[in-house]
Amino acid sequence: MTPAEAIHTPLQQIALKEWQELQASGHDHLARHGVQIQNRVVPYDPWPRVIHGADWDGLCAGISQRHQAINCFVADVYSRQLILRDGVISRQEIEESPLWQPDLHGLFAPDHCWCLINGLDLIGGSQQGWRVLEDNLRRVGGHGYAASIREASWAAGLAKNTAHQPRPVQEGLQQLRAALHQLCPHQDDPLIVLLTPSTVSTEISEHRFLAAAMGIALARPEDLHCDQNQVLLLQHEQKLPVDVIYRRNEDRIGMEPDGSSTWLGVPGLKRVAAEGNVQIANLPGAGIGSDKALYRHVGAMIRYYLGEEALIEQVPTFSCRDPKELEHVLQHLNQLVVKPVDGAGGLDMLHGPTASAAECNAMTASLQAQPERFIAQPAQVLHTLPTLVGERLQPCAVDLRPVSLLGDTPQVLPGALTRVAPPGSSIVNLNRGGSLKDTWILDVAA
């Protein structure tokens, strides 16, 4: 019996009414604790995703390998550009990326950590093999929701239905705090700030949860002020020097007096960071490492920087800037998923197999007008799990969002966020009607 079968067998004995009660209890817990997305309680499904501990540990090795190579790539293209000099990736692909920020070239040393945190979107599973859909380096999220969903599952009483206990996830938040601390190792008690766009951000509840759980400050851009080569947090009529910023907002918001863009909405922040007086995770500009058109080169990055072969497969990807690949995409639009190279949250994408004729026509026009803005991938058949839909359990497509950290030792936060697509859909994003499941990493003998 596999670990998933060991846990799913007793779960299958649970009556539908009890599943509905578990879902209602979990929802009530999330509502009481203000766990929201876009001003509504995060949708919760009680049936957990189960991953064998040994499978998870093997997956983590591939996640960390990928993260290390991408960080090497970002640090390289903003410094020595060896990978471009050696012809592994063309200079044109970098310089034409909407996520490339040429003014950052030479700002930091070649060994600087640009990408402390990475959030991957994985599909598949232990039996059919895992595949990476994309990396997320700009505003990495999900780990706060993963911890909140675990709390909701336990508060609802799901633990009493199984003799097997999954690995805890809460300790991952302290691992994240420790990694942020490592960015300024000479400080015994650094002031770490989680920078949120505003108190009305669609993800503000996760930001508040993370800040409280890690014991760090929560701030908006207007709460930070740069003065005499340091960043100050203006709080309770005090000015406190900030050592580390864990950013959850966009790279550039507003303008500096010289006409350049303002980092994270905080005037002067770029100057202070360049002086080494504040550390930022992840740095503005790191998004070049998650450009969806450069995604297909990650295997080459792993070989170039680490001298290894990739441990996790990727999905074939067509770059629409290439005329031949664009022609293929236009001819097979109903079989593909088309995404902006700098997209996030499932916005402005087309899922060809389920798109209407009008949606396909609109995407065709966009592709013909600005092909360099898009990539396409064959539509994938996602792994499914039983999901409570109205009065019955039915299979719904899922993906997995693990979060990895660099630092003294690369690591993956324990547990991960399982995102669930609505019935009949393959789009798991919460802003497209998706929901969330708890992810159980089980150390059970097969």
pLDDT of 100 over the 90 cut: yes
pLDDT of 169 over the 80 cut: yes
- For the question of whether the overall pTM of this predicted structure is more than 0.85, the answer is yes
Nearest to 378 by CA among 352, 404, 344: 352
Exposure string of 423-440, with b = 16+ CB inside 10 Å and e = fewer, is eebbbbbbeeebbbbbbb
Rounded CA separation 387/135 (Å): 26
Rounded CA separation 251/260 (Å): 12
Alpha carbon 180 to its chain centroid, in Å, reads 17
Average pLDDT of every residue of the chain: 92
pLDDT in tens, 281-310: 999 999 999 999 999 999 999 999 999 999
pLDDT of residue 380: 93
pLDDT in tens, 318-351: 999 999 999 999 999 999 999 999 887 667 899 9
Rounded CA separation 341/29 (Å): 37
pLDDT in tens, 63-85: 999 999 999 999 999 999 999 99
Q: Per mean pLDDT, which range of 90-99, 186-195, 248-257 is the poorest? A: 248-257
pLDDT in tens, 397-441: 999 999 999 988 899 999 899 999 999 999 898 888 899 999 999
Q: What is the mean pLDDT of residues 263-271?
A: 93
Q: Per mean pLDDT, which range of 110-119, 239-248, 251-260, 362-371 is the poorest? A: 251-260
pLDDT of residue 270: 93
* Percent of the chain whose predicted confidence (pLDDT) is above 90: 77
Q: What is the mean pLDDT of residues 122-134?
A: 89
Residue 158's pLDDT band, with cuts at 50, 70 and 90, is confident
pLDDT of residue 446: 45
Q: Which domains does the chain show, CATH number per domain?
A: 3-182+282-310+381-442 (no CATH), 183-281 (3.40.50.11290), 319-378 (3.30.1490.270)
